[in-house]
Structure 1
Amino acid sequence: MADLAALEDPRIRAVNERHGDDHGVNLTRLRAVAKNLKTQHELAGLLWETGDTAARLVALLVCRPKAYSAAELDAMLREARVPKVHDWLVGYVVKKSPHVEQLRTAWFADADPVVASAGWDLTSDRVAKSPDGLDLDGLLDLVEVQMQGAPDRLQWAMNTCLAMIGIHHPALRARALAIGERLRVLEDYPTPPGCTSPYAPIWITEMVRRQGAG
């Protein structure tokens, strides 16, 4: 904790707070702290319990993802209200857990939109990598009805799922593009030069072009 406190930078905190992240530690330096610690699952638990965002990010890097029960991961996700902690928990821990599919289906329909967004994130991963058993048309039905009015984090996750369907499933590409064009979600999202817009029609078209699968 002292090492992390020493790395605090008010300028980084100011930038992070604009995105809802309440920490001021450069992530490259934070990763270096975790690298020096190596895997220490018990320490990860202690760091998580501090509630400190920088400490929780380190915890997610030094834990053993497969050591958590489904109930523990569910409790952690419900505590993870800071976007970066939420993203790292889902991306670095839950996706490596043997309970990932159980949690995906449970979270997908959760009444808490932040929890539901994790379910949609995990579903997007399956859409791209292992879609067997998924009802892709049914997912597009939900996106079509719910995405436009969804809270920000859930809307973003649903939009990602829409894009993944359009990019990876040519038979549904025209429908995915049509939904994106009709709903216009994230159409005006500020996109830095050299980056691809998260607006689904642009995102899908650009990624398909890169794949040479047009």
Structure 2
Amino acid sequence: MSTVSASQSTSPSVAKSVATVVEQLQALGLETYRNTIRKHGAQEPVFGVKIEEMKKLMKPFKNDLAFACALFDTGIYDAQYMAGLLADGRQMSADQLQHWVMTANSHGIREFSVAWVAAESAHAEELALAWIASGDEAIAATGWCTLSSYVAITEDADLDMGMLKKLLKKVQADIHRAPNRVCYCMNAFVIALGSYVSELSAAALQAGQTIGEVTVDVGDTACKVPFAPDYINKVAQRGSLGKKRKTAKC
């Protein structure tokens, strides 16, 4: 399917399909799960649909980017998460991805759904670096998450090692004074380099040791900020250092 502009109007058939799926999502929502994801930053409207239920609804819309983009444009947390699972980032333009990052429901959508599809796209490095340079905490955090997903799914031979080394040094210098979400995502970037990029694994491990424990306000959740060296060492112990993922999505 060809790429659809973010500004292009939605066809009546796509709009009807989106309306039907939104009704289905609303019916599948669970109050307990809704409360949980709200604690993790989801903003209204949010239904509380579990991911396995979303995946059941996705089957008729495989490779339908127009549907995924229209679903994202509802602004509903669950619909945007499902759109991120459904969309093929390789089909998406830089304008579409910029539209997604600017209209995402919450940091959960930006740092997962948007980062996933951006990492798949031909614009991954360009957008990630532009977002990191943004003065907006939410956008900058998305840039770091995009790179984390990108290195996880991209062969080392296709990575700009010089750029990644510079960014690792930047994290080491800036992480403890970075804004909350940026700090969290910088730490995840160190872990991603150490886990997925063989050439930089040792450097990431050393950087993590130098950085030390990272403190982030995770709100009213049970989330913990992983200590990067411990995480990287666990990956090494199971023999998975440098092993790429087929997809960043989960």
Instruction: Say yes or no: TM over 0.5.
Output: yes
Matches within 5 A, 1:63-74: 63-74=87-98
CA distance in structure 2 between the partners assigned to 1:89 and 1:187 by the alignment: 22
Letter in 2 for 1:3: Q
CA distance in structure 2 between the partners assigned to 1:111 and 1:62 by the alignment: 30
- Indicate if the aligned counterparts of 1:9 and 1:25 stay in contact, CA closer than 8 A: yes
Letter in 1 for 2:86: V
Deviation at 1:30, TM superposition (A): 1.2
Consecutive aligned runs of 4 or more in structure 1 exceeding 4 Å deviation: 125-129, 186-192
User: Is 1:88–2:121 an aligned residue pair?
Assistant: no
User: Is 1:180–2:180 an aligned residue pair?
Assistant: no
CA distance in structure 1 between the partners assigned to 2:171 and 2:121 by the alignment: 27
- Indicate if the aligned counterparts of 1:121 and 1:160 stay in contact, CA closer than 8 A: yes
Deviation at 1:73, TM superposition (A): 0.7
Deviation at 1:104, TM superposition (A): 2.0
Q: What is the identity percentage for the equivalent residue pairs of Structure 1 and Structure 2? A: 27
CA distance in structure 1 between the partners assigned to 2:53 and 2:88 by the alignment: 21
Letter in 2 for 1:120: W
Give the match for residue 190 of structure 2: 162
User: Is 1:19–2:40 an aligned residue pair?
Assistant: yes
CA distance in structure 1 between the partners assigned to 2:204 and 2:97 by the alignment: 34
Output the TM-score relative to the length of structure 2: 0.70
Structure 1: unaligned runs, 5 residues or longer: none
Give the match for residue 227 of structure 2: 199
Give the match for residue 101 of structure 1: 125
Deviation at 1:89, TM superposition (A): 2.0
Distance 1:173 1:145, change over 3 A: closer
CA distance in structure 1 between the partners assigned to 2:175 and 2:63 by the alignment: 39
Q: Relative contact order (alpha carbons < 8 A, sep ≥ 6): 1 or 2 greater?
A: 2
Aligned alpha-carbon RMSD (Å): 2.8
Give the match for residue 35 of structure 1: 59
Distance 1:207 1:191, change over 3 A: farther
Give the match for residue 10 of structure 1: 31
Structure 2: unaligned runs, 5 residues or longer: 1-21, 242-250
CA distance in structure 1 between the partners assigned to 2:69 and 2:163 by the alignment: 37
Deviation at 1:188, TM superposition (A): 11
CA distance in structure 1 between the partners assigned to 2:201 and 2:67 by the alignment: 46
Letter in 1 for 2:23: A
- Indicate if the aligned counterparts of 1:107 and 1:119 stay in contact, CA closer than 8 A: yes
Distance 1:25 1:211, change over 3 A: same
User: Is 1:113–2:153 an aligned residue pair?
Assistant: no
CA distance in structure 2 between the partners assigned to 1:66 and 1:135 by the alignment: 22
